[in-house]
Amino acid sequence: MIDLRSDTLTLPDEPMLRTILTARLGDDGRLDAEGRGEDLAVNELEDMAAEVSGKEAGLLCASGTMGNQAALLTWCRPGDTVLIDELQHLDRSEKTAFTPRFGQLKKVTYRSDASLMPNTASMEEELKNGPVKLICIENTHNYTGGACIDLKRMAEIRSLADRYGVPVHMDGARVFNAAAFLGTTVKEIARYVDSLMFCVSKGLGAPVGSLLCGTRKFISEAKEMRKLLGGAMRQAGIIAAPAIYALKHNVERLREDNENAQFCASLLKDLKKVKAQQNVQTNIMMLDMEGAGITPQEFCARAKERGLLIRPIIGSFVRLVFYKGITRSDAERAAAIVREIDGEL
Ligand SMILES: *Cc1c(COP(=O)(O)O)cnc(C)c1O
């Protein structure tokens, strides 16, 4: 079975798991005068996250959801308005900060261009309309098929935000894939935002965790928020150690995942009914079932019968995700299966 449901399916390998045995563990919930916990592996990971993102400090969170929501709730207070993308993960899938039962934040949305990057004119319309407390962007963008925001657009978003005096939070769950595609570093991308979250549990291949990064002051407040969300952990070095390993060993190879996704798309240029995304940049590619005479669910069921696990993601789309352990020949086989099913429609 070729399983392309998500890059969260990466399993820790032996050398990664071995790092847990020698991790310098302690109680990360017990803080010293500087607000640092006693788990040295967690501290090492948080310092690495700060370094790689060019921010003052990092904070280990149990999930990307916790990292994003802690950020929103740190930047904003109930009733504040947040400017987000129409199809942003932190709204569509996470919700916490926006539901009346929890964060009680309000949202206004901006559109994307044909380039799938945030349309700054659309952003400015909303900024003009009324007080916006925070701007959120997503790089790479999940629901539109792994699109990147390039450095030029990042700079434009920054200068717009500065003109209106609004901070920017970036959901960078897969920002390392973006850096690989854009031929730059995460630090260069992160220069333009005030806070960012990235996941080590996706393409980077660690079992658990996400890092929230920002100024020392922001991270110290976010740490309080993480505690309120139930996210103060104890010997969290057990998850920090594999994450450190991931940042040391699994960043360079993300290029392969991006290339495998692009390769798969290149084999699906002339499908009969299904539309395969052609502007693939990173490790996600989408198949659009609109007008193909089959539902996304049914398409996935037929793929499963042939040995390919994929899943419906949003609207008429099915998502294929490429990650460590998925080879070029898996990508080729996956394309062949999609072709076979399309041929029968
Ligand atoms: C996966 C993902 C998250 C959150 O990740 P979890 O660790 O599953 O909570 C946030 N944003 C984007 C764009 C994602 O793809």
Mean of all residue pLDDT scores within the chain? 97
Determine the distance separating the centroid of ligand 1 and the alpha carbon of 1, expressed in angstroms: 24
In degrees and rounded to multiples of 5, residue 196 shows phi and psi of -150, 155
In this predicted model, what pLDDT tens digit does every residue of 278-328 receive, in sequence order? 999 999 999 999 999 999 999 999 999 999 999 999 999 999 999 999 999
Query: Which atom of ligand 1 lies closest to the CA of 68?
Result: 10
85 lines ligand 1 (CB under 6 A): no
Ligand 1 pocket test: pick from 66, 91, 171 the residue with the most ligand atoms within 8 Å of its Cβ.
Answer: 171
d(CA 93, CA 103): 15
In this predicted model, what pLDDT tens digit does every residue of 139-190 receive, in sequence order? 999 999 999 999 999 999 999 999 999 999 999 999 999 999 999 999 999 9
214 lines ligand 1 (CB under 6 A): no
Task: Tell me the pLDDT band of 130, cut-offs 50, 70 and 90.
Answer: confident
Determine the distance separating the centroid of ligand 1 and the alpha carbon of 6, expressed in angstroms: 11
Closest residue by CA, ligand 1 atom 4: 64
User: What does the pLDDT average to over 73-98?
Assistant: 95
Task: Tell me the pLDDT band of 95, cut-offs 50, 70 and 90.
Answer: confident
User: What does the pLDDT average to over 14-39?
Assistant: 96
d(CA 38, CA 232): 12
- Contacts of residue 245, defined as CB under 8 A and 6 or more positions apart, other chains included, come to 15, 16, 19, 206
199 lines ligand 1 (CB under 6 A): yes
Instruction: Output the pLDDT for position 139.
Output: 98
In degrees and rounded to multiples of 5, residue 63 shows phi and psi of -155, 170
Q: What is the largest CA-CA distance in the chain?
A: 66
Determine the distance separating the centroid of ligand 1 and the alpha carbon of 340, expressed in angstroms: 32
Query: Which atom of ligand 1 lies closest to the CA of 199?
Result: 7
